[in-house]
Amino acid sequence: MLQSHVVMLEDPAHLEGAMCLEGVEVHQSTEMFRNIFLTQVQQQLEDLDRELKTHLSKSERCLMLHRDKMSSYMQQAETFFSSEDAGDSEGAARGQQEKDWQEPLHEGHGLSLKDILDSDSEDSQQGDLEGADSPAAGGYWREELVFANKIQELEMAVEERVTAIRPPGDIDEEAEDTRFGDLPAELVVRIFSYLTLQELCESAAPVCRAWYRHAHDPLLWQELDLDFNHDVRAVDLCAMIRGAPLLKVLVMRGRNELTITEVSVFVKYCGMLQQLDMGFCKVLDLTMLHIIVDSCPQLELVNVEGCDSIRDSCLTVLSRLPKLTVLNLSHCTSVTDDGVCHLVRHCPGLTSLNIDGIAWITDNAVQDIAACCPSMRQLYLDGDELTDVSITAVTDSCAQLELLDISFCEGVTDHSVQSIPKLQHLKHLRLKRGMQLSSAVMLHLFRGEALAGLTYLNLTECTAVNNGVVERISKCCAELRELYLCWCWDITEEGLEHIVNNLSKLHHLDLTGLDKISGACLTYVPSTLPHLTYLDLQQCNRVQDEVLSALVSAEPGLTIVDYYGNNVPDLPEQCRS
């Protein structure tokens, strides 16, 4: 019985037949019927997802449309049961559905609904699509036609938009300065390269026809960053990309109005795309990734951090990119060990992988990463479920590693951390919350010159860090640019003096939560730390505000954060000595 209700929404004949139902079914509770129906629709969605690979080999277009199909079912179901009068609801839904189906067929195609149904019947006999001889086949081809119409409409709008932004005919070709006009085109493009894309469009292009041509030179449009404007209309976005045939870098972070139609159109103009940043695009899903991967085979860097809909099946699609070397999956919380393992087994060329913020990644996945990607140079991990097994695997197999970033590594002990000096190319090391690490292993880490090349060190909440460890760090890691020692409570003023007197290349220093330092030695900062631009002293209750204000006055380019998290203001002029 449930299957017949699903079929109803795909075939008008079944809808008409449903109007004739009599007896107990007609009078049963509308709410109960609605719940049963929606449960069946959800089951269909899950079945489609499980059969994804099979359908992909036979019909890529069917794959791109199955999510839209399910969304359409849900909308129709809500409409079908929105009225208390079930009979009226069925009639309204049927009438609207037939109207929606027939409208795109009559606009620009000259086909009737009967023609499409007949065509569906012929196609089913040829076996072009599995299950095409079922009642669902007609619905599939109807939706495919609607989807094709949407793409065609957007493409036409893009072409109209591109034509509309051409320079007006009344702009004088000779309006430009003669001397500037005598410059070689290559030199003009080089000069224009110092302008932002917004300046090119708003300031340079309107000057004259020649400047318009230079401003739209494809060499100047190899990178497009839309992070500053998430509300760009689909037609404007596609028009911009349409005018950038050499586009290599595209940033679309946080674009939550993205549609499958929009993606299908703009990827046609991105054949040379190498880097794609779609971080925090909540609507990015498997279907869109299929379209992108199929159309942009040159992709080397993909960022999908914070995209909730990224799952293991999405990693299967991304693993088809032959040149993929950098992938950011940070906080893609639906990813599991299985997806990561499949990815690294099919992408041995990965050099940078970020899976931080995925708390259930275990040693199994990290072992596969180490074994399959020996050329890894940057690795970000969430250590919530990790043990010494992971650290040992990485230090034994990834000798070229330059960045190792592990958050929440409570399960990591001295046994594995003592092997980190094997990574002699390491420049960035983060061991956040290493609660089980001892002062002895910290001293061991910075005993020789193995970690002398570090420029970034973060030992936040590693409570074993004391003045002795800080002294060893200040002598071993003279190249440090950023140092984080937050909540390392055993550090006193003596440890701060080691930092101030020895780490002359520091730019960023975070000492949040060090309640035993007084800050008296900070008066030497202008001479001993000339490059320091940021100093965080939140929750450092013994540091006097007057000392910080005087330091800001002496170093105007230095930002200092006080106990309460506020930027320290400069001293009033009359208070300066």
Give the DSSP letter string of 309-348: T-BHHHHHHHTT-TT--EEE-TT-TB--HHHHHHHHHH-T
| Both tokens assigned to 205 | 């292009």
pLDDT for position 150: 79
| Both tokens assigned to 234 | 């689909």
Which stretches of 166-322 are assigned E, i.e. beta strand?
223-225, 249-251, 275-277, 301-303
Hey, how many other C-beta atoms are within 10 angstroms of the C-beta on 346?
A: 17
Nearest to 457 by CA among 420, 416, 422: 420
Phi, psi of 72 (to 5 degrees): -65, -40
Hey, how many other C-beta atoms are within 10 angstroms of the C-beta on 477?
A: 22
Nearest to 285 by CA among 300, 263, 252, 253: 263
Residues 77 and 38: beta-carbon distance below 8 Å: yes
- Domains, the chain, with CATH or none: 184-219 (1.20.1280), 446-576 (3.80.10.10)
Nearest to 564 by CA among 554, 543, 520, 532: 543
Which stretches of 167-211 are assigned E, i.e. beta strand?
none
201, with CB counted inside 10 A (0-12, 13-18, 19+), is middle
Residues 286 and 312: beta-carbon distance below 8 Å: no
Query: Which residues have CB under 8 Å from 60's CB, separation 6+?
Result: 290, 294
Nearest to 162 by CA among 254, 227, 243: 243
Hey, how many other C-beta atoms are within 10 angstroms of the C-beta on 31?
A: 9
Report how far residue 52's alpha carbon sits from residue 46's, in angstroms, rounded to the nearest whole number: 10
Report how far residue 293's alpha carbon sits from residue 313's, in angstroms, rounded to the nearest whole number: 13
| Both tokens assigned to 559 | 């930002």
CA distances from 449 to 152, 297, 315, 394 (A): 62, 42, 39, 20
| Both tokens assigned to 407 | 């958050």
State which amino acid sits at residue 77: A
Q: Tokens 């299950």, residue?
A: 131
Nearest to 135 by CA among 281, 9, 17, 219: 9
Nearest to 81 by CA among 139, 20, 5, 3: 5
Report how far residue 302's alpha carbon sits from residue 504's, in angstroms, rounded to the nearest whole number: 36
| Both tokens assigned to 93 | 């839904």
Q: Is 108 helix (H, G, I), strand (E, B) or coil?
A: coil
pLDDT for position 7: 36
Report how far residue 372's alpha carbon sits from residue 388's, in angstroms, rounded to the nearest whole number: 19
Nearest to 218 by CA among 271, 148, 146, 177: 271
Residues 476 and 453: beta-carbon distance below 8 Å: no
Q: What b/e sequence results for 86-113 when a residue is b if at least 16 CB atoms lie within 10 Å of its CB, and e otherwise?
A: beebbeebbeebeeebbebbeeeeeeee
Dihedral sign of CA atoms 38, 40, 44, 50 in order: positive
End-to-end, the C-alpha distance of the chain in Å comes to 89
Q: Among the residues of 418-520, which ranges form H helices?
A: 439-445, 467-476, 493-502
pLDDT for position 570: 76
Predicted structure pTM score: 0.74
Dihedral sign of CA atoms 32, 35, 39, 40 in order: positive
| Both tokens assigned to 325 | 């070397």
- Per-residue pLDDT tens listing for the chain (577 residues): 333 333 333 444 444 444 444 444 434 445 555 555 566 666 666 666 656 555 455 445 554 555 555 555 555 545 544 444 444 444 444 444 444 433 443 333 433 333 433 443 344 444 444 444 444 455 555 566 676 777 788 878 878 877 766 665 555 554 445 577 788 889 989 999 999 988 988 888 888 888 888 898 999 999 999 886 777 888 988 988 998 999 999 999 998 888 899 999 999 999 999 999 999 999 999 999 999 999 999 999 999 999 989 999 999 999 999 999 999 999 999 999 999 999 999 999 999 999 999 999 999 999 999 999 999 999 999 999 999 999 999 999 999 999 999 999 999 999 999 999 999 999 999 999 999 999 999 999 999 899 999 999 999 999 999 999 999 999 999 999 999 999 999 999 999 999 999 999 999 999 999 999 999 999 999 999 999 999 999 999 999 999 999 999 999 899 999 999 999 997 665 455 5
Q: What is the DSSP letter of 520?
A: G
